[in-house]
C-alpha cells in the first residue's frame, strides 16, 4: 500500500543506504545545528533528515507537494507526532521479531512467527484507524488526505475482524487438513493445506468416518515423514504469510520515515522562529530554468546558534548562473555562501528556509569546495590537495548542478590561482553547472566581470566604514582596466601590489568590482596606515646618497 506522504506516486525507500555525497558538505554549510534541532535527540529522525537533505529531488511538483504537506503537518503537529510514535513503536517491535532467532526457513515455524507478527500488525492497524478517525478533520493537503483515503479499505472494522478470524484459522486449532494428488509410482504429490469448514452439523454427521492415526513414541522415521508431509503442505501458506508480513512491515517503516521528515521540518520551523529568525516556504523551478533570487536570506545554522540577530541579504541572480562574492574579511561572504547552499538543500528536501522569500531552480547535484586544514602528513601540498578535491568534485557534477566555492585555489600565488579558477568556472558554466564563488583574488574577479551571465556581490559599508554584514550587488559592466585614481593632495597614495590605488578612490570608479586591497581582505584602516608606511619607506629610499658616492 502506497504511503505517498513525500511523493504522490512513489514511497521513500526505508531500506535505502546513505545518500550523502562524498565530502563534509554538512559541516561546510553549517547544517549541524539544523539537523540537531530537527532530531531533538531522536537518532532515527537525525538519520532521516540527513538523508532527505541529500535526496536532491528535482521535480518542482514533488517539492511543492512536500511544502504543502509540511504546512499541513505544522498546523496538525500533535497528530503527526502521535502517528510517528505509533509507527516507531510498531517498527521497533517488528525489529525484535526479526532478530528474535532462527526458524523462518522451516514452514511450520515460519507460519508461527508470521502469525505473531501479523497479530501485532493488526493491532497497529486498529490504532492507526482510531487516530485517523479522530484527527483527519484538521488536514487539508493532498499528501495527508490522499494517505487517509488509501488507508480506508484496510482500516474498516469489518475488514479487520475478517483478518483476525483468518489468522486464528491459520493457527490450525482443529489440526491440519491437506489435499494431495498422485505422483509417479502412486506417491503423494502436490500437498496443499485446506481451510477447514466450520459446520458443526457436518462434523457430527461424518464424525464416524474421520480417519486418524498415531505415531509410536519411538518411531523417529514416522515423525520425520509426517513433519515433511506437513512442511510440503504448509510451504505455500508460509510464503503467503511472509509476503504479507514483509508488505505490512514495509508500510510501517515507510510511514515512520516519511513522518520523521515532517516532524523534523516542524521542529526546524519552530526553532528558527523561536531564535528570532525569518522563515518561509520556498518556491522551486525545474533544473536549468535560471531561477535564483532571495530576500533576507540568512544562514540557518548561525540563527540557531544564537548570540544576537542575524542580518539577511538579498540576491537577484535570475538567468545569472555565476555569483561572485568579493570584499574584505569579516564582511559576511562565507556566511552568505553557506546560507545559499543550505537554502537549496532545504528547499528540495521540503523543509522551511531561513529567508523572507526564496526561489530557485532545483539542482541535480550540489557540491562544495571549501578550505581544508593542511595535510600534516605532508604527502602533498595544500594547492595539490585543492586540485585533487576539485577533480573529484567535477567528476560528480552534471548539468543543472550547483557548485559552491569558498576561497578556492587561494593557497597559491594570485596569478596562478586566478588562472586555474577561471578555467574551472568557465568549463563548469559551459557544461550547464551554476557556480557561486567567494574570492579575494582581484585578477579572478576582474576577468570574470567580462561575462554577461555573472552577478557580483560585496559586503556593504556604512558611511563611517562600519560593517553591516549585508551583501549588495555591484555594477555589471566590466571596466577596461583595473580601477585607479589620482590623489588631489600631497598626501601619499597607497598602491597595492595589483596596481590599484586607495580603495576609497577605487570604489568611486566602479562600486561593483573590489579594489585589490579588498580582494586580499585587508581592513581599510590597516590598508591606509600600511600604505602610508610603505610610501614613507620609499621616500627614505629615494634620499640623495651623495656622501656615499663621494667616498667611492
Compute the average pLDDT of residues 224-235. 73
- Residues 298 and 277: their CA atoms lie apart, in Å, by 8
- Is residue 506 predicted with pLDDT exceeding 80? no
- When pLDDT is cut at 50, 70 and 90, the band that residue 197 belongs to is low
Compute the average pLDDT of residues 172-184. 71
Q: Which residues pair with 119 in a beta bridge?
A: none
**Cβ neighbours for 511, distance < 8 A, ≥ 6 positions apart:** 474, 475
**Mean pLDDT lowest for which of 8-17, 161-170, 503-512?**
503-512
Torsion of CA 269, 275, 280, 284, to 10 degrees: -80
What pLDDT score was predicted for residue 23?
Answer: 61
- When pLDDT is cut at 50, 70 and 90, the band that residue 96 belongs to is confident
**Cβ neighbours for 546, distance < 8 A, ≥ 6 positions apart:** none
Strand residues in 98-176 grouped as ranges (E): none
50 membership: H or E segment, kind and range: helix 43-53
pTM, whole model, 2 decimals?
A: 0.78
Which has the higher per-residue pLDDT, 319 or 18?
319
Percent of the chain with pLDDT strictly greater than 90: 48
The angle formed by the CA atoms of residues 71, 259 and 130, to the nearest 5 degrees, is 100
Give the domains, in start order, of the chain with CATH numbers: 55-172+242-274 (no CATH), 283-478 (3.40.50.300), 485-541 (no CATH)
- When pLDDT is cut at 50, 70 and 90, the band that residue 549 belongs to is very low
Contact, 113 vs 104, CB < 8 A?
yes
CA 177 to chain centre: 54
- Residues 552 and 541: their CA atoms lie apart, in Å, by 19
- Is residue 195 predicted with pLDDT exceeding 70? no
Contact, 405 vs 371, CB < 8 A?
no
Amino acid at each position: 500500500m502506497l504511503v505517498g506522504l513525500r511523493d504522490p506516486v512513489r514511497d521513500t525507500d526505508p531500506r535505502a543506504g546513505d545518500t550523502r555525497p562524498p565530502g563534509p558538505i554538512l559541516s561546510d554549510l553549517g547544517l549541524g545545528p539544523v539537523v540537531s534541532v530537527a532530531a531533538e535527540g531522536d537518532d532515527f529522525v537525525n538519520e532521516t533528515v540527513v538523508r532527505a537533505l541529500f535526496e536532491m529531488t528535482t521535480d518542482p511538483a514533488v517539492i511543492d507537494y512536500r511544502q504543502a504537506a509540511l504546512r499541513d503537518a505544522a498546523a496538525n503537529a500533535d497528530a503527526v507526532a502521535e502517528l510517528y510514535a505509533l509507527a516507531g513503536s510498531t517498527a521497533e517491535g517488528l525489529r525484535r521479531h526479526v532478530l528474535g532467532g532462527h526458524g523462518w526457513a522451516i514452514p511450520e515455524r515460519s507460519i508461527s512467527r508470521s502469525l505473531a507478527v501479523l497479530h501485532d500488525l493488526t493491532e497497529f492497524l486498529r490504532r492507526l484507524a482510531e487516530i485517523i478517525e479522530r484527527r483527519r478533520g484538521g488536514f487539508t493537503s493532498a499528501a495527508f488526505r490522499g494517505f487517509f483515503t488509501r488507508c480506508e479499505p484496510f482500516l474498516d472494522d469489518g475488514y479487520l475482524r475478517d483478518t483476525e478470524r483468518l489468522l486464528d484459522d491459520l493457527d490450525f486449532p482443529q489440526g491440519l487438513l491437506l489435499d494431495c494428488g498422485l505422483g509417479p509410482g502412486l506417491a503423494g504429490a502436490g500437498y496443499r493445506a485446506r481451510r477447514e469448514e466450520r459446520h458443526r452439523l457436518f462434523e457430527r454427521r461424518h464424525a464416524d468416518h474421520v480417519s486418524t492415526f498415531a505415531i509410536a513414541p519411538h518411531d523417529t522415521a514416522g515423525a520425520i515423514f509426517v513433519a515433511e508431509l506437513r512442511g510440503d503442505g504448509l510451504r505455500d501458506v508460509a510464503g503467503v504469510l511472509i509476503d504479507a508480513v514483509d508488505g505490512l512491515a514495509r508500510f510501517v517503516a515507510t510511514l515512520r520515515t516519511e513522518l520523521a521528515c515532517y516532524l523534523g521540518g516542524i521542529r526546524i520551523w519552530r526553532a528558527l522562529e523561536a531564535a528570532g529568525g525569518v522563515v518561509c516556504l520556498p518556491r522551486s523551478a525545474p533544473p536549468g530554468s535560471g531561477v535564483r533570487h532571495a530576500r533576507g536570506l540568512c544562514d540557518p545554522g548561525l540563527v540557531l546558534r544564537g548570540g544576537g540577530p542575524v542580518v539577511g541579504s538579498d540576491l537577484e541572480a535570475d538567468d545569472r548562473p555565476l555569483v561572485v562574492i568579493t570584499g574584505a574579511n569579516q564582511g559576511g561572504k562565507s556566511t552568505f555562501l553557506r546560507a545559499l547552499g543550505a537554502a537549496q538543500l532545504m528547499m528540495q528536501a521540503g523543509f522551511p528556509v531561513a529567508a523572507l522569500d526564496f526561489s530557485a531552480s532545483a539542482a541535480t547535484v550540489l557540491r562544495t569546495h571549501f578550505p581544508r586544514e593542511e595535510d600534516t602528513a605532508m604527502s602533498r601540498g595544500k594547492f595539490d590537495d585543492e586540485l585533487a578535491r576539485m577533480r573529484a568534485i567535477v567528476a560528480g557534477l552534471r548539468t543543472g548542478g550547483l557548485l559552491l566555492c569558498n576561497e578556492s585555489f587561494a593557497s597559491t600565488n594570485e596569478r596562478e590561482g586566478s588562472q586555474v579558477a577561471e578555467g574551472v568556472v568557465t568549463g563548469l558554466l559551459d557544461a550547464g553547472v551554476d557556480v557561486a564563488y567567494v574570492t579575494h583574488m582581484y585578477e579572478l574577479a576582474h576577468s570574470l566581470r567580462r561575462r554577461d551571465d555573472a552577478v557580483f556581490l560585496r559586503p556593504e559599508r556604512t558611511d563611517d566604514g562600519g560593517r553591516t554584514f549585508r551583501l549588495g550587488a555591484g555594477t555589471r559592466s566590466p571596466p577596461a582596466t583595473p580601477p585607479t585614481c589620482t590623489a588631489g593632495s600631497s598626501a601619499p597614495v597607497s598602491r597595492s601590489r595589483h596596481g590599484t590605488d586607495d580603495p576609497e578612490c577605487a570604489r568611486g570608479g566602479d562600486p561593483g568590482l573590489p579594489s585589490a586591497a579588498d580582494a586580499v581582505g585587508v581592513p581599510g584602516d590597516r590598508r591606509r596606515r600600511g600604505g602610508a608606511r610603505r610610501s614613507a619607506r620609499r621616500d627614505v629610499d629615494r634620499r640623495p646618497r651623495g656622501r656615499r658616492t663621494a667616498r667611492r
